[in-house]
């Protein structure tokens, strides 16, 4: 009996590993096919689109983009500008707002926090039409400002940073800075921001990736090819001119994913920890 | 507590000052656009590049037309169906993996690597994933078709993307595949937040893994599961990138979601900004209701209780003073 249950638990463990390995393969496999096919010529792909090893047509696939609207370099540059700008503004002003909520006693503090919780999840789709009309009127379509400046008000980020500050900030440090004659703004920049570094780093990663991947707003606002972001560039690959250029489609997809893979696998430890933190609201 | 309050009173203005950038940015880039969208919903604003509008004689005309529009009804239906087909297996798989990964008696090695791989699809650009999957399910040649024929499931290539339910199923699968890792990581963090003494006590009482999971782990995760449900539902209502780029709402509107409907109304065909704005407001109401539920879950229970008690205490004090007088 005892022996039987030990064998049973052995089988259960093997089963668990099989499921986990299957899921891991399921995560990798589509991207693997994508990367491999990006090095293969269209005839090769048409013969068999399932290859586990690379071929030699990477450069030929690159040449397909010549003179066409899909331009990964421009997309990359624009996405970097928008994502970096929005991330920096987002984490700085969210930290500042969180500090205002934690360090000071003011009459509207609680109502303001309640308000932030209430608007935590308003999506861009809800304000998109008005936002577009507003930007069109002031001539800000085909500009990066409407994609960067709204990051100053990021309710979810403020919420997260407030939770972090509540645990990490000791009011004594702030008070001793005051005694030393530091201004409030100086105290925030030189003393509080360094304390918040772990929270800033986590939020920066998610903000950057979120902005990098954003499609809805850029697609509404940007009509000039020179302003296209990476996801809009990707959406061009669905167009008819690439219909028969399978290798080039896969290569384009690979180029958009490559920077994300690099970021993800270098920072995965922090990202996983950040995901776990985001879920525990305590 | 009282001393701290007196000390920081003179600093109160910094609370306002440091919140000001947030408030201004919020008013300009979120509040005003929402208000503007609501206004447009009552007007005749349509046509590419138009910005001037008149209010309609029947202000609710756009709303009535959207609610009667079969495509909008279809979009609401699709959004709900696609979300449900993705969420139920996502929840179940995440719970199963959580049970395995937190089982102290039978440790799984390489958990860190598994977590990294399970979560990976979540950070990849959804636009890229949508087009990647439409290539993978290509017809007559495509990796999935090749695989199916190689394994002998079919002799003829299958036109996956022509069938309504297959198309919806694939989008649900993509959503499931992108999100179960995140849900799992959140759940595992939730289990680590449960008082370890509970597990120890159960262990001492001789409970088996299954009993521990159903009687301690699962009840302990209730709030986090509810939170996941609501955030996923709110996220699901906004589903845009994948249905838009996978099949642009097709075949035959089978994967048209509410957000894709709004986008297509406003930025293609006859540029019906007013109709799209009305649909946005309907979406806003739905999300507001869901956010209300989330707000209720997330509210600081202890703080709310404390405030209530403080109010009662003050009321009692006032009553006492009045009685004295």
Q: What CATH class has A72-236?
A: mainly alpha
Distance from CA of A6 to the nearest CA of B (A): 11
Q: What is the ipTM of this complex?
A: 0.91
Does residue B177 lie within any of the structural domains?
Answer: yes
Provide the mean pLDDT of chain A. Answer: 89
pLDDT tier, A118 (very low <50, low <70, confident <90, very high otherwise): confident
Stretch A69-87: mean pLDDT: 93
Which residues on neighbouring strands pair with residue B43, listed in sequence order? B55
Does residue B5 lie within any of the structural domains?
Answer: no
Task: Determine, for residues B124 and A260 on separate chains, whether the beta-carbon distance falls below 8 Å.
Answer: yes
State residue B55 phi and psi, 5-degree precision.
-70, 145
Q: In the prediction, which pLDDT does B291 show?
A: 82
Looking at A233-247, A262-276, B78-92, B200-214, which range is the least confident one? A233-247
Residue B3 has pLDDT above 50, yes or no: no
Query: Which residues of B fall within a CB distance of 8 Å from A126?
Result: 34, 37, 280-281, 283-284, 287
Per-residue pLDDT tens over the stretch B70-91:
999 999 999 999 999 999 999 9
Stretch A26-50: mean pLDDT: 89
pLDDT tier, B5 (very low <50, low <70, confident <90, very high otherwise): very low
CA dist., res. A166 & res. A130, Å (int): 36
Distance from CA of A66 to the nearest CA of B (A): 21
Domain ranges of chain A: 2-63, 72-236
Residue A53 has pLDDT above 70, yes or no: yes
CATH code of the domain in which B299 resides: 1.10.3720.10
Query: Which residues of B fall within a CB distance of 8 Å from A130?
Result: 32-40, 277
Residue A150: which of B29, B119, B190 has the nearest Cβ? Answer: B29
Looking at A22-26, A121-125, B276-280, which range is the least confident one? A121-125
Strands (E), A104-188: none
In percent, the amount of chain A with pLDDT more than 90 equals 63
Q: In the prediction, which pLDDT does A253 show?
A: 92
Q: In the prediction, which pLDDT does B62 show?
A: 93
Number of independent structural domains in chain B: 1
Does B60 or A244 have the greater pLDDT score?
A: B60
Does A267 or B296 have the greater pLDDT score?
A: A267
CA dist., res. B84 & res. B233, Å (int): 9
Q: Considering Cα of A61, then A62, then A66, then A70, what sign does the dihedral take?
A: positive
Q: In the prediction, which pLDDT does B208 show?
A: 87
CB pairs under 8 A between A and B: 312
Closest residue of chain B to A79, computed from CA coordinates: B125
Does residue B42 lie within any of the structural domains?
Answer: no
Tell me the residue range of the domain where B194 lies. Answer: 62-324
Task: Determine, for residues B33 and A149 on separate chains, whether the beta-carbon distance falls below 8 Å.
Answer: no
Peptide bond into B157 cis (omega under 30): no
Q: In the prediction, which pLDDT does A240 show?
A: 65
Residue A253: which of B128, B284, B291 has the nearest Cβ? Answer: B128
Does residue B128 lie within any of the structural domains?
Answer: yes
| DSSP string for residues in A171-217 | HHHHHHHHHTT--HHHHIIIIIHHHTHHHHHHHHHHHHHHHHH--HH
Per-residue pLDDT tens over the stretch B135-152:
899 887 889 998 988 888
Does residue B49 lie within any of the structural domains?
Answer: no
Residue B8 has pLDDT above 70, yes or no: no
Residue A97 has pLDDT above 60, yes or no: yes
Distance from CA of A73 to the nearest CA of B (A): 16
Q: In the prediction, which pLDDT does A2 show?
A: 52
Measured CA distances, A275 to A261, B106, B126, B179, B191 (Å): 17, 25, 18, 12, 14
Task: Determine, for residues B273 and A150 on separate chains, whether the beta-carbon distance falls below 8 Å.
Answer: no
Per-residue pLDDT tens over the stretch B205-262:
988 888 999 999 998 898 888 889 988 998 999 999 999 999 988 899 999 999 999 9
B61, burial (CB in 10 Å: exposed 0-12, middle 13-18, buried 19+): middle
Per-residue pLDDT tens over the stretch B101-160:
998 888 899 999 999 999 999 999 999 999 999 989 988 788 999 898 888 888 888 888
Indicate which of B135, B260, B264, B307 best probes the interface with A, i.e. most A CBs within 10 Å of its own CB.
Answer: B135
Peptide bond into B178 cis (omega under 30): no
Q: In the prediction, which pLDDT does A282 show?
A: 35
Task: Determine, for residues A101 and B234 on separate chains, whether the beta-carbon distance falls below 8 Å.
Answer: no
Query: Which residues of B fall within a CB distance of 8 Å from A103?
Result: 8, 11, 14-15
Q: In the prediction, which pLDDT does B23 show?
A: 97
Q: In the prediction, which pLDDT does B301 show?
A: 66
Sequence-ordered list of residues with C-beta below 8 angstroms from that of B264, at least 6 positions apart, any chain: B249, B256
**Residue A141 per-residue DSSP state:** T
Measured CA distances, B226 to A61, A120, A169, B142 (Å): 47, 16, 30, 39
- 3-class DSSP assignment, residue B43: strand
């Amino acid at each position: 009996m005892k022996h039987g249950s030990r064998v049973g638990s052995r089988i259960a463990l093997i089963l668990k590993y099989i499921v986990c390995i299957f899921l891991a393969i399921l995560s990798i496999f589509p991207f693997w096919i994508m990367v491999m096919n990006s090095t293969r010529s269209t005839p090769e792909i048409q013969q068999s689109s399932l290859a586990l090893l690379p071929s030699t047509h990477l450069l030929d696939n690159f040449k397909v983009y010549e003179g066409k609207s899909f331009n990964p370099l421009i997309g990359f540059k624009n996405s970097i500008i928008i994502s970096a700008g929005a991330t920096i503004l987002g984490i700085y002003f969210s930290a500042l707002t969180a500090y205002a909520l934690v360090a000071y006693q003011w009459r509207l503090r609680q109502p303001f926090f309640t308000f932030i919780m209430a608007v935590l999840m308003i999506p861009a789709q809800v304000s998109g039409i008005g936002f577009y009309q507003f930007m069109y009127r002031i001539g800000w379509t085909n500009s990066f400002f409407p994609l960067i400046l709204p990051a100053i008000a990021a309710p979810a980020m403020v919420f997260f940073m407030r939770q972090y500050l509540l645990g990490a900030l000791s009011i004594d440090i702030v008070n001793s800075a005051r005694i030393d004659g530091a201004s409030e703004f100086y105290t925030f920049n030189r003393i509080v921001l360094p304390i918040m570094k772990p929270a800033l780093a986590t939020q920066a990663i998610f903000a950057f990736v979120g902005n990098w991947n954003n499609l809805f707003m850029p697609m509404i606002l940007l009509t000039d090819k020179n302003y296209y972001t990476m996801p809009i560039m990707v959406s061009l690959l669905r167009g008819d001119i690439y219909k028969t250029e399978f290798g080039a489609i896969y290569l384009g997809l690979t180029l958009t994913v490559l920077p994300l893979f690099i970021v993800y696998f270098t920072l995965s430890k922090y990202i996983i920890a950040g995901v776990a933190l985001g879920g525990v609201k305590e | 507590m009282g001393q701290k309050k007196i000390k920081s009173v003179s600093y109160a203005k910094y609370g306002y000052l440091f919140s000001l950038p947030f408030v201004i940015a919020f008013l300009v880039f979120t509040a005003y656009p929402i208000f503007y969208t609501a206004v447009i919903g009552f007007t005749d604003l349509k046509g590419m590049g138009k910005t001037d509008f008149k209010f309609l004689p029947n202000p609710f005309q756009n709303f009535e037309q959207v609610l009667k529009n079969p495509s909008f009804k279809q979009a609401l239906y699709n959004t709900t169906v696609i979300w449900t087909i993705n969420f139920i297996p996502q929840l179940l798989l995440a719970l199963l993996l959580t049970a395995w990964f937190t089982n102290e008696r039978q440790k799984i090695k390489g958990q860190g690597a598994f977590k990294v791989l399970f979560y990976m699809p979540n950070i990849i650009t959804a636009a890229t994933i949508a087009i990647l999957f439409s290539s993978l399910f290509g017809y007559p040649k495509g990796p999935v078709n090749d695989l199916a024929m190689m394994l002998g499931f079919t002799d003829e290539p299958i036109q996956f993307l022509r069938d309504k339910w297959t198309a919806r199923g694939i989008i649900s699968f993509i959503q499931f595949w992108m999100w179960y890792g995140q849900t799992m990581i959140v759940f595992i963090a939730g289990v680590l937040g449960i008082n370890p003494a509970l597990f120890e006590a159960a262990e001492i009482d001789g409970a088996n893994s299954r009993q521990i999971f159903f009687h301690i782990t699962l009840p302990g995760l209730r709030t986090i599961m509810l939170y996941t449900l609501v955030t996923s539902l709110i996220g699901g209502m906004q589903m845009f990138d994948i249905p838009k780029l996978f099949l642009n709402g097709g075949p035959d509107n089978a994967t048209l979601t509410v957000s894709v409907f709004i986008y297509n109304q406003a930025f293609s065909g006859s540029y019906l900004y007013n109709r799209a704005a009305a649909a946005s407001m309907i979406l806003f109401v739905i999300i507001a209701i869901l956010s209300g539920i989330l707000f209720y879950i997330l509210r600081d229970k202890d703080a709310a209780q404390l405030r209530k008690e403080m109010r009662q205490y003050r009321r009692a004090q006032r009553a006492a003073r009045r009685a004295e007088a």
